Amino acid sequence: MADEKTQASGCFSQVSSRPAASSALSRFGSPCSSTTSRLWWLTWAGQVDMLTGSSLQSHLNKALASRLARLIVDVSQVSFLGSTGLSVLINIQAAATHQGITFQLRGVGPAVARVLQVTKLDSFFEILPAEEGPLG
């Protein structure tokens, strides 16, 4: 049972002896995080802008502080990515790289893809297809 994958509350988690950590919901976005031994998976829905960027930054900083090996941010449900949200992702990428943590974006949809393409950051981030799960 330790290797079984489950989908709960919009997040993938690996069933283990440790319970998955869940975060609170934001007014404009819905973060949902899961942890396994060294993996954090965070799904964000809605807008990532100056109103929600600090909440996303807080969740991602918490993840980086947990001595993880891999951090995945699922952006498949993001409807708007503003400059503040983009700045958060750039800063987290830099911090993760500095700490030797693999940072990946998953499920980049049209709203996020356009911003990444226009800013030429689509090759800066490692992007996983929407179909790929956290353990795949």
Domain 30-128 classification at class level: alpha beta
According to the 3-state scheme, what is the secondary structure of 90-125?
HHHHHHHHHHCCEEEEECCCHHHHHHHHHCCCCCCC
> Count of H helices and E strands in the chain?
3, 7
The pTM is what?
0.72
Q: What is the pLDDT along the chain (136 residues), one digit of tens a residue?
A: 333 332 323 333 322 222 233 332 333 334 455 555 588 888 888 898 898 888 889 889 988 888 888 999 999 989 999 999 999 999 999 999 999 999 999 999 999 999 999 999 999 999 998 776 555 5
